[in-house]
Amino acid sequence: MMPENNYDVIVVGAGPGGSSAAMAAAKKGRKVLLLEKHPIVGYPLCCAEGISKSGLENIVPLNPRWVASRVERVLLVGPGGAEARIEHPAAGYVLDRKIFDRDLAARAAREGAVVKTGTPAVALLNGDGGPVRGVKVQEEGKPNEYFAPVIIASDGIESRIGFWAGLDTTLYLSGFDSAAQYLLGGLDVDEECLQFYFGRELCPGGYAWVFPKGGGTANVGLAFTPALNAKVKAMELLDKFVQRCFPSASVIETIVGGVPAYVGKKLLRVKNVLLVGDAARLVDSISGAGIANALLSGKIAGETAAEYLPSKHSEKFLDRYRQNWDRLKGREMRFYLYARQIYVRMRDADFDSVIGFVRSIFERKSVAAIEPIGLLKRVLKENPKLLLLARHIRW
Ligand SMILES: Cc1cc2nc3c(=O)[nH]c(=O)nc-3n(C[C@H](O)[C@H](O)[C@H](O)COP(=O)(O)OP(=O)(O)OC[C@H]3O[C@@H](n4cnc5c(N)ncnc54)[C@H](O)[C@@H]3O)c2cc1C
């Protein structure tokens, strides 16, 4: 075993989760290796790039270069034409993730992590039922091996690391939303407003979005739940939406992808492997957002890995990652998961009625912050019919 191939922490995948983990572990003085399979960090990727101010800035200080547009308001549009406009100055950002992801990896490098692009992890070096010893990679066309007492899996929705370490990471039809998105050009939209469109026919179980990116461009996409209608495809639904709302726009970029469903705490750790972000399915069950969760889970996992001393601690020490994540986010993630069970059963009339209620709360107001759980509870209280949709949910 070559000493230069030994690290304290190996992180697989340089998305927001991986770079955040590598940054956190390197900051604590650990020798960190960050592996990315693509030759360019941040390309290709599949994301609408929206993030709240707090979700981003609680983890990393803002660099204005990451921002494609600033979010000052939000528009909700129902299938029957109900609309609610929420004025929310400095709510968040639409990022340019091609710059953001690269910059985060560069920050990890600045903290001392070794970043290797074009270097996919192709297997784990499993130690006969004991801890995982390291990672086998393909580097410059040749196989190579790296060793560390902790591995962080930040390899996204397609994650193989958890599976190789012994977890059941199968993505069932009921376990993800299917998404498609265009970057459209030649648009005349309010560049500070995120738009959301709802309706069972438009996108069953999901929603469509218009996230402006400046210069007359916007990420225009939708995600839907294939388990509710296996006959349609995300791209067909998106084409109908674009035809209706932006018939003369130009398509600058096309992407398709999947949003994994949150599955609780069960994919956060196996042996000495910590899973973060999409690899652990840490996605908000209503919005499908995962960047902020990837940043936060990466930070906690990176710090836990840095504090782990195999000569002193048992492997159980690494459970601190799962405990700290659950303390900070568990209640919120569980609430969204329950709320999703109602959301996927809502009919078009329910969407219009909820949006009408939201308008009555926010019209002619400017809000400094929205507390989503409190708002959802108010919506349910005012629309008790919705609770009937949840009658087979165990709270
Ligand atoms: C259409 C769409 C729109 C979305 N819009 C939003 C949004 O607006 N806001 C939001 O918050 N979230 C959004 N999401 C979700 C968000 O993109 C993810 O939650 C987020 O990217 C997760 O970050 P991550 O670091 O966990 O994984 P990723 O960003 O997927 O990064 C994983 C990295 O691992 C690398 N990798 C994979 N396998 C290997 C390997 N074997 N070896 C080395 N490297 C490997 C990949 O190349 C990739 O760079 C959207 C998702 C989709 C599909």
Q: Which range has the worst mean pLDDT, 9-18, 146-155, 205-214, 306-315? A: 306-315
Residue nearest to atom 13 of ligand 1 (CA): 289
Q: How confident is the model at residue 371 (pLDDT cuts 50, 70, 90)?
A: confident
**In 10 A of CB 256, how many CB atoms?**
14
Task: Tell which residue, 263, 211, 206, has the closest CA to residue 232.
Answer: 206
| Residue 241 vs residue 380, higher pLDDT | 241
Map tokens 């690899």 to a residue: 279
Mean pLDDT of 109-118: 98
pLDDT at 372: 81
Mean pLDDT of 79-94: 96
pLDDT at 175: 81
Burial of 263 (0-12, 13-18, 19+ CB in 10 A): middle
Q: What is the pLDDT of residues 301-330, one digit of tens each?
A: 999 999 999 889 999 999 999 999 999 999
Phi, psi of 72 (to 5 degrees): -115, -15
Q: What is the pLDDT of residues 329-354, one digit of tens each?
A: 999 999 999 889 889 989 999 999 99
Mean pLDDT of 132-160: 97
Q: Tell how far CA 302 is from the center of its chain.
A: 18
Mean pLDDT of 158-186: 92
The Cα–Cα gap between 380 and 132 comes to 46
pTM: 0.96
| 38 CA closest ligand 1 atom index | 47
| Residue 8 vs residue 129, higher pLDDT | 8
Map tokens 């899996």 to a residue: 153
Mean pLDDT of 180-192: 97
Mean pLDDT of 294-307: 98
Does the Cβ of 42 fall within 6 Å of ligand 1? no
Mean pLDDT of 8-26: 98
Percent of the chain whose predicted confidence (pLDDT) is above 90: 82
- Return the half-sphere exposure (C-beta side, CA atoms, 13 A cut-off) of residue 229: 17
Q: Tell how far CA 231 is from the center of its chain.
A: 26
Mean pLDDT of 354-365: 91
pLDDT at 2: 63
**In 10 A of CB 316, how many CB atoms?**
8
Question: From the CA of 15, how far away is ligand 1's center (Å)?
Answer: 6
Mean pLDDT of the chain: 94
Q: How confident is the model at residue 201 (pLDDT cuts 50, 70, 90)?
A: very high
pLDDT at 177 over 50: yes
Q: Which range has the worst mean pLDDT, 239-248, 266-275, 378-387? A: 378-387
pLDDT at 304: 98
The two structure tokens encoding residue 287 = 């919005």
- Return the half-sphere exposure (C-beta side, CA atoms, 13 A cut-off) of residue 213: 22
Q: What is the pLDDT of residues 219-264, one digit of tens each?
A: 999 999 999 998 999 999 999 999 999 999 999 999 999 999 898 8
Question: From the CA of 391, how far away is ligand 1's center (Å)?
Answer: 34
Question: From the CA of 354, how far away is ligand 1's center (Å)?
Answer: 31
Mean pLDDT of 85-92: 96
Does the Cβ of 78 fall within 6 Å of ligand 1? no
The two structure tokens encoding residue 66 = 């990451």
pLDDT at 395 over 50: no
Q: Where are the alpha helices (DSSP H) in the chain?
A: 16-27, 53-57, 97-110, 161-164, 234-245, 291-307, 319-325, 331-343, 348-362, 372-382, 385-389
Does the Cβ of 16 fall within 6 Å of ligand 1? yes
Q: Tell how far CA 241 is from the center of its chain.
A: 24
β-sheet bridge partners, residue 86 = 74
Residue nearest to atom 15 of ligand 1 (CA): 290
From 10, 33, 35, 47, the mutation candidate for ligand 1 (largest count of ligand atoms within 8 A of CB) is: 47
pLDDT at 393: 53
From 23, 37, 222, 283, the mutation candidate for ligand 1 (largest count of ligand atoms within 8 A of CB) is: 37
pLDDT at 387: 74
| Residue 169 vs residue 49, higher pLDDT | 49
CATH T-level fold of 3-46+98-171+262-340:
FAD/NAD(P)-binding domain (3.50.50)
Task: Tell which residue, 351, 299, 354, 289, has the closest CA to residue 321.
Answer: 299
